[in-house]
Amino acid sequence: MANSQELISFEPATGKELWRGAHGNVDAVVAQSRRAWPKWAALPLSNRIELMRRFVNEVRKDQDAFAELIAREAGKPLWEARTEVEAVMAKVDISVSAYAERTGQRKLDSALQGTAALRHKPHGVMAVLGPYNFPAHLPNGHMVPALIAGNTVILKPSEKTPAVGEKLVELMNRAGIPEGVVQLLIGGPDEGKALVAHQDVDGVLFTGSAQVGIAINRKLANEPGKIVALEMGGNNPIVVWDTPKITDAAALIIQSAFTTAGQRCTAARRLIVKSSMYDEVIAETKKLADRIIVGGPFDDPAPFMGPVIDNYTADQLTESFVYLLSHGGKAIKHMRRQQDDLPFLTPAIIDTTAMADRPDVELFGPLLQVIKVDDFDEAIAEANNTRFGLSASLVGGDPQQYNRFWANVRAGIVNWNRPTNGASSAAPFGGIGLSGNHRPAAFYAADYCAYPVTSTEVEQPRASVGVGFK
């Protein structure tokens, strides 16, 4: 019997144990981070950047093994795990440019008033809470900008992907980033809550579900001094309008809905389609969905979709499909469990047009709801029929319609004839509503990793008193 203070990670594709480790001590980890911070913050920026570049070299040395670990622990196809490792390496150069652009220094000289200067300071100890769907790339997207800015970082990876988190921190330490500067905290929800609430943590950088993000926000509501960046989910719409390119439209729908087995915060959850195009678009989309290979990370031929993260998640998704079905949904493509004891699901498509009350939740997996509409205003209204606001795509339509869509749809990522997912790290990444708290990540992560300090400076005291003195 495993010790209750031990965390065990299993491979979704095989059910085998992959990793086990003891839960960390939150107080000890935070204390070490706090001790390491002054020295790290005082290092010249160029030194911190140099260490981050060495980190890229360490990742490159272990590139294949790292990709294999991600594939095994997250269940994603090896080709996709490889693109994740590439993104981890690319993040450093992007973050260096972002830091220079978003947190630049400025001097404004004025002969009598001395010098006015703008510089930026790090916050201190940053807690990074990572998700399981991109267990390296997404935490790394908070960690790299935070470290460049001069913060120390504590990574608490998802309890479902601790091995990848451990590897990420190990590669940073191996590159020469001191052990107190970047640390791993293994644990579950209890450790996460303790870390968020810890008085010596200066910032919380979170990627995950809206439910957990809201709990963090509530917990820290009376602590305005802590920087909190929440990157949460989406109930994202993809709207298909007039276009002769039905095959391309279907490919964009499939990429948006089913890449990473639908386990992306930017995945399309709702396909909103013009009534007159419905039959053609749905037929083509179903035909392509029927061709999707679902399989293990290392299968040959390579699968497009791996399993979802675990059996519990697979059960929840199949239950959600049945719920939609029994409340007015019409199955276009059934969700099937390929094996009772492993979380492999076939991609599902269900028409929910007739549902009186469509649940506005993020169903995090390969489940696409279809809604038929008659006119473009109705399409925009339906796209906005959610409390989330992460990504939205329009496929087809003309430039005027795209302008209307862009202006009126509520989302932080708005695309035309492109998937809802696959956002660039060289752009800001985030949404509104339940999708975030107006602190976009990726290129804009620099904004929440340092705060601006304005100074007016004169080399000798110089002042005179004015009106109202005897």
223 and 257 share a domain? Answer: no
Residue 249 phi/psi, 5-degree rounding, is -60, -45
- State the CATH number of the domain containing residue 269: 3.40.309.10
User: Domain of 135?
Assistant: 6-232+436-456
| 215 is a domain residue | yes
Read off the pLDDT of residues 231-249 as tens digits, 9 standing for 90 and up.
Answer: 999 999 999 999 999 999 9
The model's confidence at residue 422, banded by pLDDT at 50, 70 and 90, is very high
CA distances from 242 to 295, 298, 397, 401, 410 (A): 35, 39, 5, 10, 22
| 468 is a domain residue | no
Read off the pLDDT of residues 362-390 as tens digits, 9 standing for 90 and up.
Answer: 999 999 999 999 999 999 999 999 999 99
Beta carbons of 268 and 256 less than 8 angstroms apart: yes
64 and 86 share a domain? Answer: yes
201 and 263 share a domain? Answer: no
The model's confidence at residue 112, banded by pLDDT at 50, 70 and 90, is low
* Nearest partner of 231 among 360, 423, 41, 59, judged by Cα: 423
Read off the pLDDT of residues 32-64 as tens digits, 9 standing for 90 and up.
Answer: 999 999 999 999 999 999 999 999 999 999 999
- pTM here? 0.97
Q: Hunting for tokens 């990627």 — which residue is that?
A: 207
In this prediction, residue 104 carries a pLDDT of: 85
In this prediction, residue 3 carries a pLDDT of: 45
| 132 is a domain residue | yes
| 464 is a domain residue | no
| 277 is a domain residue | yes
| 426 is a domain residue | no
218 and 144 share a domain? Answer: yes
226 and 244 share a domain? Answer: no
- In the 3-class helix/strand/coil scheme, how is 126-192 assigned residue by residue? EEEECCCCCCCHHHHHHHHHHHHHCCEEEEECCCCCHHHHHHHHHHHHHCCCCCCCEEECCCCHHHH
Which has more pLDDT, 456 or 437? Answer: 437
**Over the chain, what is the mean pLDDT?**
96
Cβ burial of 405 (10 Å; 0-12, 13-18, 19+) is buried
177 and 49 share a domain? Answer: yes
Catalytic residues: 231, 265
* Lowest-confidence pick of 100-114, 152-166, 197-211: 100-114
Overall average pLDDT of the 130-144 stretch: 98
| 260 is a domain residue | yes
Give ∠ CA 296-317-131 in degrees, rounded to 5.
Answer: 65
Q: Is the pLDDT of residue 405 over 80?
A: yes
Q: Is the pLDDT of residue 127 over 70?
A: yes
- State the CATH number of the domain containing residue 452: 3.40.605.10
394 and 409 share a domain? Answer: yes
In this prediction, residue 56 carries a pLDDT of: 98
245 and 378 share a domain? Answer: yes
88 and 228 share a domain? Answer: yes
Beta carbons of 273 and 361 less than 8 angstroms apart: no
266 and 177 share a domain? Answer: no
In this prediction, residue 113 carries a pLDDT of: 73
The total of structural domains in the chain comes to 2
Query: What is the C-alpha radius of gyration for the chain, rounded to an integer number of angstroms?
Result: 24
Residues paired with residue 240 on neighbouring β-strands, in sequence order: 273, 395
Task: Name residues whose C-beta falls within 8 Å of residue 173's C-beta, 6 or more positions apart in sequence.
Answer: 179, 182
| 469 is a domain residue | no
326 and 312 share a domain? Answer: yes
55 and 190 share a domain? Answer: yes
Overall average pLDDT of the 127-141 stretch: 98
